[in-house]
Amino acid sequence: MKSLAHQSVEEMGGAGSVLSRQKRDHVKLDRLLGRLGAAPPAEQNAVLLQIYRLVFPHAYAEETVLWPVIRRVLVDGHELTLQVELEHQEINELATRLETLEQSSAERHRVLERLVELLREDVRDEEDKLLPALQMKLGVSELRRLGIAWEAVRALSPTRPHAIVSRRPPGNVLAAVPLTILDHCRDGVDSLIRGRTGAASSPLKGLSSSLARASNALERLPGLRRGEDPSTRRGTARPPWAAAAIVTIVAASVALAMAGRKTGKRSSNGAI
């Protein structure tokens, strides 16, 4: 099998083929990892957020669309996809761990180093093994249709690490929309935080943390863990009533953020 790294766009089935779409993302990731390596510690989080927005929707769509096809058409499809699912699982766990570590801690450096190493390893496994094997089983028209499906799912996939939710359908399919909404809200909040310091950022940081807790509670709901392989199962399930707690957490966080904004405006008006 010829690695995608050494194939032209035409060999991969054209720009619309799922192989070409995958490789374009891998090229973008390589550039972002280079930027991350050159960034000072204070600027790493901004680059990491860009990496997350690229790799987590990419991987989620793979797990939802591509890997089921590989398991269906390849004799060793289960083993091949499980290897990558385990890599995805560790990437999610490492990224989640990073969020809890101080910028200057030695552990953060080790976790970040392992995350970068694993992301590069994941690209090689996909370009050298999984995707060429899929290419040998499907025609160009099938690869293009698969590319459209993968792109559509990617647009509706979470942008943050989720180490608890199933890595396989139907659990990950059921979790996609609610987790994506929470993640996009958190992405927006975190973008606002970077433009503020001190007391002005506190309500937003509280909101971001609450959104993260809501996502964590959501992905533990029993139905969202269906279909996963036992080797990637993490955490414990929560009963359905936990969904009500999620709504409460988010609503309270939004109210807190709005109250903080109003307080800030009153303080500004009083200073004039």
DSSP string, 173-233: HHHHHHHHHHHHHHHHHHHHHTT--GGGGHHHHHHHHHHHHHHHHHHTSGGGGTT--GGG-
**Residue 86 shares a structural domain with residue 39:** yes
| Banded pLDDT at 271 (limits 50, 70, 90) | very low
Helix (H) / strand (E) element for 261: namely helix 242-271
Q: What integer pLDDT is reported at residue 199 of this predicted model?
A: 75
**Count of alpha carbons within 13 Å of 77, Cβ hemisphere only?**
16
Q: Cα(174)–Cα(223) distance, rounded to whole angstroms?
A: 8
**Which residue, of 157, 192, 207, is where some domain finishes?**
157
pLDDT at residue 58 greater than cutoff 90: yes
Position with higher pLDDT, 117 vs 208: 117
101 DSSP 8-state letter: S
Domain extent at residue 252: 164-272
**Residue 121 shares a structural domain with residue 255:** no
Q: 150-193, pLDDT tens digit by residue? A: 999 999 999 999 999 899 999 999 999 999 999 999 998 888 88
Q: What integer pLDDT is reported at residue 223 of this predicted model?
A: 81
**Residue 184 shares a structural domain with residue 221:** yes
**Residue 91 shares a structural domain with residue 57:** yes
Lowest mean pLDDT among 13-22, 34-43, 245-254: 245-254
**Residue 74 shares a structural domain with residue 120:** yes
Nearest-CA neighbor of 4 among 144, 133, 134, 132?
A: 132
Q: Cα(158)–Cα(160) distance, rounded to whole angstroms?
A: 6
Q: Cα(200)–Cα(260) distance, rounded to whole angstroms?
A: 8
pLDDT at residue 234 greater than cutoff 70: yes
Q: Please identify which residue in the block is written with the tokens 């499980």.
A: 82
- Dig out the tokens for 108 from the structure: 């953060």
**Residue 80 shares a structural domain with residue 124:** yes
Lowest mean pLDDT among 24-33, 130-139, 252-261: 252-261
Q: How large is the average pLDDT for residues 4-14?
A: 97
Q: 236-259, pLDDT tens digit by residue? A: 655 555 555 555 555 455 545 555
Nearest-CA neighbor of 180 among 64, 20, 94?
A: 64
Cβ pair 255, 263 in contact under 8 A: no
| Banded pLDDT at 272 (limits 50, 70, 90) | very low
Say what the pTM is. 0.85
Nearest-CA neighbor of 59 among 196, 144, 168?
A: 168
Lowest mean pLDDT among 25-29, 71-75, 176-180, 242-246: 242-246
Q: Say how many domains are in the chain.
A: 2
pLDDT at residue 21 greater than cutoff 80: yes
**Residue 150 shares a structural domain with residue 46:** yes
**Residue 100 shares a structural domain with residue 177:** no
Q: How large is the average pLDDT for residues 203-218?
A: 87
Q: What integer pLDDT is reported at residue 266 of this predicted model?
A: 47
Q: What is the chain's mean pLDDT, rounded? A: 87
